[in-house]
Structures are given as C-alpha cells and as structure tokens.
Amino acid sequence: MHSPGVTSHKGFVTAGSTVRVRLALDATAQGPARLLVAYGRSGGTPDDQTGTVAPGAQATLSIATDVKGRLRILLDTGPADTGFLQVSVDGAVRDSGPVHGQTTWTYAVISAAGAAPPAADDDEDQ
C-alpha cells in the first residue's frame, strides 16, 4: 500500500462548490511563480485558470465546479522558492500549508450531497 503522505491527493470537494486557490510567494523567491488550476469533468470538457505571482506577492484563482470530475493545482516555481498555498471551498478553508518548489495538489469532485445512495456496511458477498 502506498504511504498516504507521498500523494498529492487531498480528498474531495462537492460539485457545485467554488474552489479558491491562494498562493503567497515568499519575497525570497528568485522569480515569479505560475499557479495553474485545472478542472476535468467526467465525460466533459476541462476548465482552467492560470496566474502569475511575483516574489513577495499573492494571487487567488477561482474555479466553479458543476459536475463530477477532478481538480489539480500546480504551482510551477523555482526549486528553492517557498510560499504558502491555501485552498478554500465556498469560503471555508479546506487545506493550507507551506510549499517548497514545484507543488501539486489534487481533489476528486464528487456528486452533490443527497444524490448519493445510502451508506451500507453490508458486503455484497455476505
């Protein structure tokens, strides 16, 4: 089994929510960083948002989810550059933390709550 710490997978967000990604790049960074957010839709076409962040500055990108899919955030920056990345869903902070060099975080975008089948603990083979 893979160690949970080494994957970019950060869990899930619900379709219909708006995801905001904020990057604060440290002033010691050697150059501007590129922040990319892409949203792939199940059986659909993707969306993306891109931004540039100067050293010592911050940027926020926002992407609206509508159906089931996958979200990947990519911070493209120098190998020694550091900063702080924060992901909010509908205004509430979902994940945040310091980043070092090129970084990627991923989320599954699941169906809106209520459309799901009820929980079951029974095993199909039982």
Partner 1 sequence: MIRRALIVLAAAGTVSARAAAQDSVLVQREARCGRALEAREQQVPPGNTDACFVLANYFVSVHTDGLYRALAAEHVSPRDVQPRTGGGAATGGSAAQGDAVPSVRPLPLAGGTVSAVGSEAGAHAITAVTLNPSVFLTSARDPREAAAWSRFGDLTVFFPVDGLDQDNDGKVDYFGARARLNIAGPAAGSRVLRAAGRAFAALVQEETDLADRITRALLEGPDPDGCIDALDAETLDGEAVLEACGDALALTLDPREMRRLQQALEAARAEADAGYLGLDLRLDVGDPTLGAVAGASGTRLFGGLALGRRLQRSQPEAPSFGFRARMGVRYVALDDPSLPPGQRTSFALDGGAGFEMVRPYEFQPITLTLGVEFRAGNPPDPSLEEEFEANFLMFRFGIDVPLTAANTVSLSVGAPLVGDLSPSIAVSANWSLLLSSIRGTER
Query: Interface residues with partner 1 (CB under 8 A)?
Result: 1-2, 4, 6-12, 25, 30-32, 34, 36, 38-43, 45-54, 56-59, 68-72, 74, 76-80, 101-102, 104, 106-108, 110-111, 113, 115-124
Query: CB of residue 91 vs partner 1: minimum separation in angstroms?
Result: 19
CA-to-CA separations, 105 to 34, 97, 113, in angstroms, rounded:
14, 11, 23
In angstroms, the CA 103 to CA 96 distance is 13
The residue whose two tokens read 């920056």 is 77
Nearest-approach distance from CB 26 to partner 1, in angstroms = 11
| Cβ-based nearer residue to partner 1, 12 or 84 | 12
C-alpha triplet 47, 51, 55: angle, nearest 5°: 155
Nearer to partner 1, 48 or 90 (CB): 48
Number of other CB atoms surrounding residue 34 within 10 Å: 15
Nearest distance from C-beta of residue 103 to partner 1, angstroms: 8
Choice between 9 and 97, CB closer to partner 1 = 9
- Minimum Å gap between C-beta 28 and partner 1 is 8
The residue (of 42 and 62) whose beta carbon lies closer to partner 1 is: 42
- Give DSSP secondary structure letters for 16-53: T-EEEEEEEE-TT-SS-EEEEEEEEETTS--EEEEEEE
